[in-house]
């Protein structure tokens, strides 16, 4: 019905050559949509199925090799999975918990769960077996994930908070509930019951989703106590709600009457979770219907137009979780301070919220307070008494009476995440003689984000203010060694903090994996970050006072050698250096991003040692004066496979990178040479801002032996030149796959192997002339 009534007619107006791709497990749907071509996915052959099962049932290559001894049993399991990849992967997750034990594998093979009847259409018995194999606490967590809409992207910390609020996470000695919940989340990943959106990563902070068949299974298994309403009219009128309803989730639309829907649940006094997400709804408040939910533990109201919470919300004494993020809330009632069981208060993105109640210190069970991206001027006194608080986002500095001072943070020993804003107001916190960090001893702190307010220039800061902010950063906010992720934003000091300048930075910050330095515009040099032993991701944005990146960036105390001498030393190391192992700098760095460094002209490499050996992605954006990439980068960053350059205007040459597979070039550019890239497979050119309307000349000057495709985003004039009778066709025709698209949706797609050339461009000289004139006028305005 959606296709016939909603989608068919608009899509029929698509440009010539457009295609609609539909994926479905129901062949009848393809017939009803009158599909021109149906491609039926084949089941996995037995050997491929066995290979997939091995990968999912083992932890490493050694175990995968040893698993060959169980191939006879494994092939029978693969056969029972019917060649379905999802079934094989989830059963592999079950086997992984059993080890390489023949009896355990045969027990799985004989399980009665394979033949469970009554399951939803398309749900294989293997999926039910995977659920049955879960311990009881993981069963609850798995079923809870199905409350969210189809293809919902789960963020590890967010779903764990909900599990904790519902009481699913068990306390384990000194291990925090969040750490235990993190292990639950990771185990669901290992069992393939949640799918990571970053295929090669099980990082807790990455996003994941639940396969729709597993979601169908979850709805089936939790049908007696949970209801997820996405099509309100149809699902609600079908009487889907059980009298034992515990959890209600409403995925609303613009026209959904939430008050009416929830008011129909008045007989369901045992509801513990209410989840409502409205992208553009018109709910103005939470009316009397909430009074009936006296057992409510979780109230999740995100992206709503709600402006006020009722006073009586303070009587929901069982409430553990309140999330009104990205809503129109302007204030919180004082009665919210009566919710002594509240563990999570999420106000993130409430950009109309300016104050929170003074009695917040009474919420002594609070574990997370997130006020990030609100308009709060301060937090009330007493925050330091919230001893269970492990995440505090959006702590706002204010020196007025009755506001929370920086010192109160010193008593929050459970903190794992902390972000502080308006640090320029912390001037009174750096008293003479003070030598203790408020973060001292906080060895559970993993994420620290420090912000001053952004200002157009530094002219508004006096020498005294600059001195004070430098001391605040040096002393009061000296990070503990446990910190894994650190960011500094808008610091107006004239130097980087002393703990970053120290020769012992490697021991002061041994665990830093992610570091962001944004708009610290008055540091003349970058800090010695090459010594950080665990650093994997580095982003530097702004740094307008930096004109040269030199050896100091790598952590070399010796002065930079001259260009000729540095080159000679790097190729012919001295006998003294060759007698000892080379110094490893940036030993684990994988991604480096340099952005808006508008005055950087020179990037020098280190004279001795070996740097960035694991770097696989380099992004340079708006570095208009940088003239060349360092030779050392080309020689030593042998794992570099992705290179993105945007508005690196003065750069003349990119050549000699042996491992770069993906190259993206966009914006203004004076590039003359792109060559000697033996591994290059994909090239992307963003030519909207280029000074001419043709493909760059260097494209025709060499061939890339491993090259697969060229994608271009450009102007209509550039597109016209790529037609088969166009001036740039002699260049284009040699690429295996070529595509170009302009801002108006015109395109060319060319495949050399299949000899196909497809375009929606109208061959009309008058049209081309009008478009060219409009583009030239737009370009003229941009450069004025």
- The answer to whether residues 140 and 91 belong to one domain is no
- The answer to whether residues 24 and 55 belong to one domain is no
- pLDDT, tens digit (0-9, with 9 covering 90-100), for 683-692: 999 976 566 6
Name residue 391's beta-bridge partners: 368, 417
Q: What is the pLDDT of residue 715?
A: 86
Q: State yes or no: pLDDT of 369 exceeds 70.
A: yes
**Is residue 456 one of the residues assigned to a domain?**
no
Which of 171, 186, 220 corresponds to the end of one domain?
220
Q: What is the pLDDT of residue 260?
A: 67
Q: Is 111 helix (H, G, I), strand (E, B) or coil?
A: coil
Which of 96, 115, 133 corresponds to the end of one domain?
133
Q: State yes or no: pLDDT of 110 exceeds 50.
A: yes
Q: State yes or no: pLDDT of 408 exceeds 80.
A: yes
Q: What is the pLDDT of residue 581?
A: 63
Please state, in angstroms and rounded to a whole number, the distance separating the CA atoms of residues 572 and 79.
Answer: 61
Q: Using the structure block, give the residue that is written with the tokens 């309100």.
A: 232
Over residues 418-433, mean pLDDT: 72
Q: State yes or no: pLDDT of 445 exceeds 80.
A: yes
Weakest-pLDDT range from 544-558, 637-651, 758-772? 758-772
Q: What is the pLDDT of residue 258?
A: 65
**Is residue 90 one of the residues assigned to a domain?**
yes
Q: What is the pLDDT of residue 158?
A: 94
Q: State yes or no: pLDDT of 342 exceeds 70.
A: yes
Strand-pair category, 682-686 with 653-655: unpaired
Q: Name which residue leads in pLDDT, 257 or 90.
A: 90
Q: What confidence tier does 620 reach under pLDDT thresholds 50, 70, 90?
A: very high
- The answer to whether residues 760 and 742 belong to one domain is yes
Q: What is the pLDDT of residue 564?
A: 38
Instruction: Kindly state the percentage of the chain with pLDDT values over 90.
Output: 54
Other Cβ atoms closer than 10 A to 354: 13
**Is residue 356 one of the residues assigned to a domain?**
no
Weakest-pLDDT range from 161-165, 282-286, 302-306? 282-286
Over residues 171-185, mean pLDDT: 92
Q: What is the pLDDT of residue 775?
A: 54
Q: What is the pLDDT of residue 13?
A: 66
Over residues 511-537, mean pLDDT: 94
**Number of domains, the chain:** 4
Please state, in angstroms and rounded to a whole number, the distance separating the CA atoms of residues 602 and 75.
Answer: 60
Q: State yes or no: pLDDT of 765 exceeds 60.
A: no
Q: What confidence tier does 29 reach under pLDDT thresholds 50, 70, 90?
A: confident
Highest mean pLDDT among 34-48, 228-242, 457-471, 759-773: 34-48
Instruction: Give the residue among 119, 144, 59 at the shortest CA–CA distance from 93.
Output: 59
Instruction: Give the residue among 538, 557, 549 at the shortest CA–CA distance from 614.
Output: 538
Q: What is the pLDDT of residue 734?
A: 87
**Is residue 208 one of the residues assigned to a domain?**
yes
Weakest-pLDDT range from 79-83, 178-182, 241-245, 659-663? 241-245
Over residues 491-506, mean pLDDT: 88
Which of 220, 247, 271 corresponds to the end of one domain?
220
**Is residue 657 one of the residues assigned to a domain?**
no
- The answer to whether residues 21 and 49 belong to one domain is no
Q: Name which residue leads in pLDDT, 719 or 690.
A: 719
**Is residue 186 one of the residues assigned to a domain?**
yes
Q: State yes or no: pLDDT of 631 exceeds 60.
A: yes
- The answer to whether residues 140 and 201 belong to one domain is yes
- The number of helices, as runs of H, and strands, as runs of E, in the chain is 25, 31
- Judge residue 373's burial from the number of C-beta atoms within 10 Å of its C-beta, 0-12 exposed, 13-18 middle, 19 or more buried: middle
- The answer to whether residues 143 and 100 belong to one domain is no
For all residues of the chain together, what is the average pLDDT? 85
Q: Name which residue leads in pLDDT, 31 or 361.
A: 361
Highest mean pLDDT among 9-18, 254-263, 389-398: 389-398
Q: What is the pLDDT of residue 563?
A: 39
Q: What is the pLDDT of residue 24?
A: 83
- The answer to whether residues 128 and 199 belong to one domain is no
Q: What is the pLDDT of residue 455?
A: 62
Q: State yes or no: pLDDT of 701 exceeds 70.
A: yes
**Is residue 543 one of the residues assigned to a domain?**
no
Q: Which domain holds residue 188?
A: 135-220
Q: What is the pLDDT of residue 608?
A: 73
Instruction: Kindly state the percentage of the chain with pLDDT values over 70.
Output: 84
Over residues 365-376, mean pLDDT: 95
Instruction: Note whether 108 and 95 are within 8 A (CB).
Output: yes
Q: What is the pLDDT of residue 489?
A: 95
Instruction: Give the residue among 545, 624, 623, 614 at the shortest CA–CA distance from 586.
Output: 614
Q: State yes or no: pLDDT of 767 exceeds 60.
A: no
């Amino acid at each position: 019905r959606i296709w016939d009534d909603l989608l068919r007619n608009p899509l029929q107006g698509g440009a010539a050559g457009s295609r609609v791709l539909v994926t479905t497990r129901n062949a009848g749907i393809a017939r009803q949509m009158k599909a021109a071509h149906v491609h039926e996915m084949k089941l996995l052959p037995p050997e491929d199925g066995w290979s997939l099962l091995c990968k999912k049932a083992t932890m490493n290559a050694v175990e995968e090799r040893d698993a060959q001894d169980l191939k006879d049993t494994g092939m029978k399991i693969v056969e029972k999975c019917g060649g379905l990849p999802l079934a094989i992967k989830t059963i592999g997750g079950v086997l992984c918990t059993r080890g390489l034990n023949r009896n355990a594998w045969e027990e799985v093979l004989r399980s009665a769960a394979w033949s469970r009847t009554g399951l939803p259409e398309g749900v294989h018995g293997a999926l039910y077996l995977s659920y049955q194999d879960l311990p009881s606490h993981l069963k609850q967590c798995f079923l809870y994930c199905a409350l969210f809409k189809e293809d919902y992207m789960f963020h590890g910390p967010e779903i764990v908070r909900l599990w904790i609020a519902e009481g699913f996470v068990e306390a384990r000695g000194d291990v925090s509930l969040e750490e235990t919940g993190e292990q639950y989340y990771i185990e669901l990943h290992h069992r393939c019951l949640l799918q990571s959106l970053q295929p090669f990563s099980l990082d807790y902070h990455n996003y994941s989703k639940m396969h729709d068949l597993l979601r169908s299974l979850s709805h089936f298994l939790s049908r007696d106590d949970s209801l997820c309403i996405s099509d309100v009219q149809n699902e609600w009128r079908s009487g889907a709600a059980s009298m034992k309803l515990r959890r209600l989730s409403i995925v609303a639309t613009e026209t959904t009457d939430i008050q009416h829907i929830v008011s129909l649940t008045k007989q369901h006094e045992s509801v513990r979770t209410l989840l409502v997400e409205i992208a553009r709804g018109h709910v103005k408040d939470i009316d009397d219907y909430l009074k009936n939910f006296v057992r409510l533990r979780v109230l999740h109201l995100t992206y709503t137009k709600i402006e006020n919470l009722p006073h009586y919300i303070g009587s929901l004494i069982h409430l553990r979780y309140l999330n009104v993020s990205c809503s129109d809330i302007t204030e919180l009632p004082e009665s919210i301070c009566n919710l002594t069981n509240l563990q999570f208060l999420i106000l993130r993105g409430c950009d109309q919220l300016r104050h929170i109640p003074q009695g917040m210190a009474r919420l002594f069970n609070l574990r997370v307070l997130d006020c990030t991206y609100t308009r709060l001027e301060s937090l009330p006194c007493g925050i330091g008494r919230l001893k269970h608080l492990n995440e505090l986002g959006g702590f706002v500095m204010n020196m007025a009476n009755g506001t929370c001072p920086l010192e109160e943070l010193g008593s929050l020993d459970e903190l794992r995440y902390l972000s502080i804003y308006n640090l320029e107001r912390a001037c009174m916190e750096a008293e003479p003689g003070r030598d203790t960090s408020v973060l001292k001893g906080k060895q559970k702190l993993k994420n620290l984000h420090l912000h001053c307010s952004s200002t157009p220039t530094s002219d508004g800061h006096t020498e005294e203010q600059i001195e004070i902010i430098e001391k605040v950063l040096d002393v009061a906010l000296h990070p503990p060694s446990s910190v894994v992720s650190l960011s500094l934003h808008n610091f107006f000091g004239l130097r980087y903090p002393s703990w970053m300048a120290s020769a012992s930075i490697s021991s002061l910050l041994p665990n830093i994996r992610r570091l962001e330095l944004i708009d610290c515009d008055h540091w003349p040099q970058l800090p010695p970050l090459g010594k950080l032993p665990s650093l994997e991701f580095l982003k530097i944005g702004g740094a307008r006072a930096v004109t040269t990146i030199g050896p100091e960036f790598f952590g070399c105390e010796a002065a930079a050698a001259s260009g000729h001498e540095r080159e000679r030393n790097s190729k012919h190391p001295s006998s003294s250096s060759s007698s000892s192992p080379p110094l490893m700098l940036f030993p684990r760095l994988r991604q480096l991003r340099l952005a808006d460094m508008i005055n950087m002209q020179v990037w020098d490499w280190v004279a001795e040692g070996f740097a960035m050996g694991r770097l696989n992605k380099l992004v340079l954006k708006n570095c208009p004066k940088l003239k060349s990439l360092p030779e050392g980068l080309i020689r030593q960053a042998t794992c570099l496979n992705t290179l993105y350059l945007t508005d690196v205007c003065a750069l003349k040459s990119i050549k000699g990178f042996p491992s770069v597979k993906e190259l993206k070039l966009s914006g203004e550019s004076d590039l003359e040479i792109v060559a000697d890239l033996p591994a290059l497979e994909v090239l992307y050119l963003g030519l909207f801002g280029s000074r001419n309307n043709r493909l760059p000349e260097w494209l025709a000057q060499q061939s890339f032996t491993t090259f697969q495709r060229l994608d271009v985003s450009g102007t209509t004039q550039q597109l016209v030149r790529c037609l088969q009778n166009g001036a740039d066709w002699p260049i284009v025709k040699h690429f295996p796959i070529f595509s170009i698209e302009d801002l108006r949706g015109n395109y060319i797609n060319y495949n050399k192997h299949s000899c196909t050339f497809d375009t929606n461009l109208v061959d009309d000289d008058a049209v081309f002339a009008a478009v060219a004139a409009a583009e030239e006028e737009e370009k003229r305005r941009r450069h004025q």
